[in-house]
Chain A
Amino acid sequence: MFNLAFENFNEILYMDGHGIYVWSVYSIGTFLIFLSFLIAKKSIRDIQQKIKIKNASS
């Protein structure tokens, strides 16, 4: 069950011609999930900054 399914790195990339489909799906998926985390973190930082400025001015 834990034997590598491929002989070398080129086989991992190529996957008998299916590598382009497999790796593009995982690249896009990982990018979108990662981007969502960045947007959420930035949104929290921005609103906390606004609240801090508001607190300081009042």
Chain B
Amino acid sequence: MLMLGWTWGLLFAPQDAVQGNSYRIIFLHVPSVIFAELIYFFMAVCALMHLVWRVKLGAYLIKSAAPIGAMITFIGLLSGSIWGIPTWGTWWQWDARITSTLILFIMYLGILTLHGSFSNLEKADRLMSILVVIGVVNIPIIKKSVDWWSTLHQPASISVSGGSSIDPSMLYPLLISVIGLGFTLISLGILSSRSYIFIREKNKRWISENV
């Protein structure tokens, strides 16, 4: 599905009147940053599950999702930077949207580093969950940054309530790319969490019986 969206966007969608063909980066950039935020939100829900109800699986899912979140945020930042060269004439600008997304990337790396720095894994799980909950404040800041501050980054072109300012010939491949990347990341998340559950529970009988 991701390949369908990308092929449609790269080869069949018309050229943009202002940005020319460089706008085709949108079919990777926008899905990446959407999932960079959604994965963090998912991690925050898992962190609450772990902190409030002591569900171990919550911590396992955070630890499995964080590298995927870091990878997809990196792709979002990199694609935005490369897109910025022909569009803005610069690859980086310390504006609110870009800086808050960079903070999100640093948060992902911080979560992974924090967890890796403790030998007591239960303590690491708890501290990691607390850090995830604290960091969730950054998500609405990223979302609203283009409205709250004057930024080089353009405001949202698509909204859940207010429709879209993008022509359907570009919007449809974009939506398919978003759904396709979603399925791809869910598959990756299932593989990654399966592996981490095996690592953490390897001494348990139910794991031995099922391998």
- The chain A residues found within 8 Å of chain B, CB to CB, are 1-6, 12, 15-19, 21-22, 24-26, 28-29, 32-33, 36-37, 40-41, 43-44, 47-48, 50-52, 54-55
Q: Are B188 and A6 in contact (CB under 8 A)?
A: no
Q: Can you name 6 A-B residue pairings with CB atoms under 8 Å? A: A12-B11, A18-B24, A22-B21, A43-B192, A54-B208, A55-B208
- Determine the distance from Cα of A7 to Cα of B174 in the docked complex, in whole angstroms: 23
Per-position binary interface string of chain B over residues 188-211, scored 1 when its CB falls under 8 Å from any chain A CB and 0 otherwise? 100110110011001000011001
Further pairs besides A4-B11, A25-B78, A29-B28: 16, Cβ < 8 Å: A3-B12, A5-B11, A5-B12, A15-B20, A16-B15, A24-B82, A25-B29, A28-B75, A28-B78, A33-B71, A37-B191, A40-B191, A43-B195, A47-B195, A51-B198, A54-B208
Chain A's nearest CB lies how many Å from the CB of B88? Answer: 12
Q: Are A32 and B71 in contact (CB under 8 A)?
A: yes
Task: Give the number of chain B interface residues (Cβ < 8 Å).
Answer: 42
Per the 8 Å Cβ criterion, residues 1-46 of B in contact with A are 6, 10-15, 20-22, 24-25, 28-29, 32
Q: Are A51 and B11 in contact (CB under 8 A)?
A: no
Within 8 Å CB of B25, what residues of A?
Answer: 21-22, 25
Per-position binary interface string of chain B over residues 64-106, scored 1 when its CB falls under 8 Å from any chain A CB and 0 otherwise? 0001100100110011001101100000000000000000000
Chain B's nearest CB lies how many Å from the CB of A58? Answer: 8
Q: Are A51 and B191 in contact (CB under 8 A)?
A: no
Within 8 Å CB of A47, what residues of B?
Answer: 195, 198-199, 202
- Determine the distance from Cα of A44 to Cα of B29 in the docked complex, in whole angstroms: 29
Chain A's nearest CB lies how many Å from the CB of B195? Answer: 4
Chain B's nearest CB lies how many Å from the CB of A47? Answer: 4
Q: Are A4 and B75 in contact (CB under 8 A)?
A: no
